[in-house]
Amino acid sequence: MSERVVLAYSGGLDTSVAIGWIAEETGAEVVAVAVDVGQGGEDLETIRKRAIACGAVEAVVADARDEYAQQYCLPALQANALYQDRYPLVSALSRPLIVKHLVEAAKYHGATTVSHGCTGKGNDQVRFEVGIGALSPDLKVIAPVRDYAWTREKAIAWAEDRNLPIDVNKRSPYSVDQNVWGRAVETGFLEDIWNGPIEDVYSYTEDPTVARDPEELVITFDKGVPVAIDGETVTVLQAIQELNRRAGAHGVGRIDMVENRLVGIKSREVYEAPGAIALITAHQELENVTLERDLGRFKRQVEQRWTELVYDGLWFSPLKDALDNFVAGTQEHVTGDVRVVLHGGRAVVTGRRSEQSLYDFNLATYDEGDSFDQSLAKGFIQLWGLPSKIAAKRDLKNQWTGA
């Protein structure tokens, strides 16, 4: 059997051209692998047929939407993962799943090499190659766009010369990556960071400035997992899809930011992630009710590191695995309902209830029935501030003696 290369295949121009280019340059057979993570667009069968028509000896297509939601989006939700406190890891989350399917296909088809279509400027090249190295250290990697200066113009010429079944005329002014967790838009006029995004940048969300009535909904969690919306049972995938629709209709989840890329440059990114933002907002609030104070404080530190590891392509790292176990352990009591109002681009929590709540009305109230013994506060304050008070006395003494 000839040498084989497994290609991460999207069905677009660059990866369609890469099938024939890799075959000609290396003499290897190409196995195309397409993974559906809820990006929409063409159906998997159409993509599979195109890969074969472009010269692939095999085309593997996988509907991984439920797997993505359950095994990748859910851990991110439970970690309240927001890179730079804003970006809900739209692209970063899907890459390790795609890597997993690429490595599995390489093993099944006896391939020695994996190929991707990433450039040398982005984070995804790192996510793909570090992930591949972690799961199968002996696999080699080819990156035609990065390693061989493969431009769009070259790709178009290649496709036209070989009459490949690809529409090379229609070109979006933006670079777009999307899946069920959100949508990322960059390049074009957005590269001037003074330019504001215009409405045709967006697809998952409606204009939040357009007047519409607020919408109220209740999200139910069971041990950190969204299990129902307005009392209707949902899977994790269905929860994301439903909130993409309902929160997106109110313009929730639009993010315009300058992002610190792993490769050392800053990049202007426009995101829209209505379902992710609505779910994270509700989940954070339920944790505020059910997590003990110090556990909640420490979890916020873990969340930031977890998010950085995933953004930086270290999904399969030992530290990420260890932090997964910590985050999962914190979800034991994160059960209850959160009421959210969607309006004007925001998801606002207006109510929360839980049988696991640590909120005690009788301790919190200032009215009749107050069970908090306020006489204890004076002694507590004295002991709490004692170390600072002793240090202050020392410092004042040193000032007077010149010590």
68 is in an annotated binding site: no
Which residues neighbour 56 within 8 Å (Cβ) at sequence distance 6 or greater?
7, 9, 19, 30, 31, 32
8 is in an annotated binding site: yes
Question: Known catalytic residues?
Answer: 14, 95, 124, 175
12 is in an annotated binding site: yes
Write out the two tokens for 160: 């036209």
- Quote the strand ranges of 107-223, DSSP E: 113-115, 140-142, 175-179, 182-186, 215-222
119 is in an annotated binding site: yes
259 is in an annotated binding site: yes
123 is in an annotated binding site: yes
Rounded distance between C-alpha atoms, residue 38 and residue 40, angstroms: 6
Rounded distance between C-alpha atoms, residue 89 and residue 79, angstroms: 11
Rg (CA), the chain: 26
Rounded distance between C-alpha atoms, residue 47 and residue 304, angstroms: 37
3-state secondary structure of 221: strand
Rounded distance between C-alpha atoms, residue 273 and residue 347, angstroms: 12
15 is in an annotated binding site: yes
43 is in an annotated binding site: no
Rounded distance between C-alpha atoms, residue 98 and residue 135, angstroms: 12
> Using an 8 Å Cβ cutoff, are 108 and 137 in contact?
no
> Using an 8 Å Cβ cutoff, are 61 and 263 in contact?
no
112 is in an annotated binding site: no
87 is in an annotated binding site: yes
290 is in an annotated binding site: no
Rounded distance between C-alpha atoms, residue 213 and residue 229, angstroms: 19
Rounded distance between C-alpha atoms, residue 181 and residue 291, angstroms: 26
11 is in an annotated binding site: yes
Rounded distance between C-alpha atoms, residue 34 and residue 20, angstroms: 16
Q: Residues forming the annotated binding site for L-citrulline?
A: 87, 123, 127, 175, 259, 271
Q: Residues forming the annotated binding site?
A: 8-16, 87, 117, 119, 123-124, 127, 175, 259, 271
Q: Residues forming the annotated binding site for L-aspartate?
A: 119, 123-124
Q: Residues forming the annotated binding site for ATP?
A: 8-16, 117
